[in-house]
Amino acid sequence: MPRHPDLSGSLSFLNLGEVLQLVGGGSATGTLRIHHERVAEPGTIWIEQGNPVDARNGSLSGLDALFSLFGWTEGRFEFTREEVHAERVIRKGRMEIILDGLRLLDEGKIPKLSAAAPEGCEGPPARCPEAPAVIKGPLVDYALVVDEESFYDGDEIVREGSHGNWIWVILEGTAQVVKQTPAGPFRLLKVGDGAFIGSLSSLLTGENVRSTTIVAVGNIQLGMLDSQLLITELSGISNDFKILVKSLERRLRQVTEIAAQAYAGGDGYRDLLRDKKIAVRQGQKEERLFVIREGEAVIARSTPEGHLPLGRLEKGDVFGNLPFLTLGHEPFEAAIFSSADLKLGTLDVASLEAEFRGLSPTLRNLTVHLSACISATTLLTLHQIRHARAA
């Protein structure tokens, strides 16, 4: 007898991108089935630890099948937690899949399949794939919310350059992430229910300069997290995991800075690959996770236009195989170039993953949210670099 689904609903309420975020935010493993009244067999997506590993839609399989299911703008979904035996054929991260899928749908490259009004986007906003993707998180753990604050459309929640180490979770509403540039404000990501505003590493160091401005889009309700409880938990994690968290947050700042440079017409990022030699090729089977002891490295995505730099890594930064977090970077979606004086150590991936699984839900979700922001900002950075080169 088939199991009752753990999560189900209507695609007219939650589109496929939102469903993938909801399932992925909880790092769930199982099978997501998409049903439509005009198709006899459901589309199927197999998910491991929150990320799609394979998909099937009629004669299509893999990433092609998954993208095609973004065109099912009506119907229903069912997700069942269960062991997955599908081979991993999809290497893209969850956020990159969501953003690419919605973009392809918006550009008309994915056919829409709906019961009615196939040419339009009628009905509630949740059905409109043309709206920019919003990064969301899992259901909020209210046990760590110590205060609530309301902001209104256009209010600045935090300002770039200001100081502060408190962290909010979005209880309801949407916020825009903005980076100031010489060419004016650059709108980066939108974040919604369950997403976090703030820096984990600031709780480790006790000091933080905000790197972006966060602005309310419409009315928004925020919950302030209990910093003392988070600091207490962070004090108990291993030094290697602290190194990882700090490195990921520096990586997010790096990729954001390059996107902002390209938006403003700057080209300083082009020099990042100068005098660097390839150390890890994009798509290379690399099982190790390295920490830089000396020298520097550059993350770069291989594209038809050549390698596009995404960030510079320095002493204390981490690169390589990180199977429990999906950044949209190396080794599957980016290469690593190194300086001649690069010296490396290695970190125990299995131990880090076990530690990650043992974190409290809130701290684990903060880490997953950080990786989702890196993945989404990476796509934005690539778009800005290509646009700048074409100009």
Mean of per-residue pLDDT scores for the chain: 87
Residue (of 88, 85, 81, 39) closest to 61 by Cα position: 88
Could you tell me which CATH number the domain at 250-391 has?
Answer: 2.60.120
Q: How far apart are CA 87 and CA 267, in angstroms?
A: 41
Q: How far apart are CA 54 and CA 44, in angstroms?
A: 8
Q: What is the structure's pLDDT at 1? A: 42
Q: What is the structure's pLDDT at 68? A: 93
Could you tell me which CATH number the domain at 134-236 has?
Answer: 2.60.120.10
pLDDT tens digits for range 191-230: 999 899 998 888 887 677 889 999 999 999 999 999 899 9
Alpha helices by DSSP H, listed for 110-238, are: 200-205, 227-235
Residue (of 14, 19, 48) closest to 31 by Cα position: 48
Q: What is the structure's pLDDT at 191? A: 93
Q: What is the structure's pLDDT at 391? A: 64
CATH 2.60.120.10 in the chain is located at 134-236
pLDDT tens digits for range 36-46: 888 888 999 99
Q: What is the structure's pLDDT at 238? A: 96
Q: What is the structure's pLDDT at 236? A: 93
Q: How far apart are CA 246 and CA 116, in angstroms?
A: 49
b/e map of 158-190 (b: 16 or more CB within 10 Å)? bebeeeebbbbbbbebbbbbbbebeeeebebbb
Q: What is the structure's pLDDT at 258? A: 93
Q: What is the structure's pLDDT at 132? A: 46
Q: How far apart are CA 226 and CA 92, in angstroms?
A: 34
Q: What is the structure's pLDDT at 131? A: 39
* Share of the chain residues as helix, strand and coil, in percent rounded to the nearest 5: 30, 30, 40
Name the stretches of the chain with pLDDT < 70: 1-3, 114-133, 206, 391
pLDDT tens digits for range 163-186: 888 899 999 999 999 999 999 999
* pTM (two decimals): 0.82
